[in-house]
Structure 1
């Protein structure tokens, strides 16, 4: 297998045109390659500046999970810190987790941040939304978002080998007029849903609004965790 390490977007496009297979940390494909054979050409974005950035409002797709620290919002940092084992986090990448993984542990955090992904097409890089990235498995270059007022994350313990653990991510954003809006994303099984509600009228009103969305159709145990997380983040907001 020949591995390309492009350093510019134009070089990445050339690699794509040659049929190079994008890889991150290869944690998701290595076993398959050992069984079925390695591709002739592969490509890593680890030397591409656009894909390795870590900033308060940006994260590159080639960043390995263990490098995600307090430069980014709490919800994203905690999501990355609960993926797999330490060995996995030292090799798995942001792009591999969001695009390549069936669990997509970082997706709920990205959704509540209202993150905008930048992807690379055959002729240009462009900004799109997370739903398109997940559905079409684009080559992700990175994510950008606006810093939330506060955020939170909870992954419920689960038995090894069982269904994926329940994840609830939350973030509060302030609009240009100072009004606050809560975003909630839930991974229950392999499905991820997200909803939002104004949160300037109190916890009971926010919870009532969320119950009238698809969150109200979740199983009762999942709704209990959502209620706890929403109450916690709104309490932290009132302390600011």
Structure 2
């Protein structure tokens, strides 16, 4: 297998046109390649500047999970810190987790940040939403978002090798019109769903927010999962009141 390491977007586009297979840390595909055969040509974005940003409002697809720190919002940092083992986090990348993994541990966190994705194809780069990235398995360059007022993350305890644990991500954002919106995303099994509600800051708005979230797709969650969503949303708004 020949591995290309582009240092510019034009180089990366050329390698895509040459049928190079994009890879991140290869933590998910290595066993498959050993079984089915390695591709003739692969491409890693590890040397591409646009894929290596790590800033308060941007995160590159080639960033290794163990590098994600307090420069990014709490929800994203905590999500990255719970993925696999330390060895996995030192090899796995943001793009590989969101696009290449069936678990997509970072996806709920990115959804509640209302993150936008910049992707690359043979024609160049463009911005799109996460739903399209996941559905079409685009080559992700980076994510960007606006810093939330506050955020939170919960991942249920689970045994290694067992079913995917429940994940609940939450974030409260100030909208351009001055209002606040609370976004919640849940991974239940392999399915990720999300919902949002306008939010009045202060404890007296908690029930309204919960009722509004229940009217979204989150209302179809099993009772136990809905209870955890209620707990996480309530806890987030209490933390906000205590700031």
- TM-score bucket (shorter structure): over 0.9
Give me the whole-angstrom Cα distance separating, in 2, the residues matched to 1:189 and 1:46: 31
> Which residues in structure 2 correspond to 1:180-191 (within 5 Å)?
180-191=180-191
Q: 1:85 corresponds to which residue? A: 85
Q: 1:166 corresponds to which residue? A: 166
Instruction: Provide TM-score, normalisation by structure 2.
Output: 0.97
Gaps of 5+ in 2: none
Instruction: Provide TM-score, normalisation by structure 1.
Output: 0.98
Between the two proteins, the alignment pairs up a number of residues equal to: 240
Q: How far 1:221 moved relative to its partner?
A: 0.8
- Verify: 1:118 aligned to 2:121, yes or no: no
> Which residues in structure 2 correspond to 1:126-141 (within 5 Å)?
126-141=126-141
State the 4+ residue runs in structure 1 displaced beyond 6 angstroms: none
8 Å Cα contact 2:5-2:45 kept in structure 1: yes
8 Å Cα contact 2:170-2:185 kept in structure 1: yes
Give me the whole-angstrom Cα distance separating, in 1, the residues matched to 2:227 and 2:132: 30
Q: 1:198 corresponds to which residue? A: 198
Give me the whole-angstrom Cα distance separating, in 1, the residues matched to 2:160 and 2:68: 25
Q: 1:208 corresponds to which residue? A: 211
- CA deviations 1:14-47 (Å, max 9, x no partner) are 1001111110000000011111111111100000
Give me the whole-angstrom Cα distance separating, in 1, the residues matched to 2:160 and 2:119: 34
Q: 1:221 corresponds to which residue? A: 224
Gaps of 5+ in 1: none
Q: 2:234 corresponds to which residue? A: 231
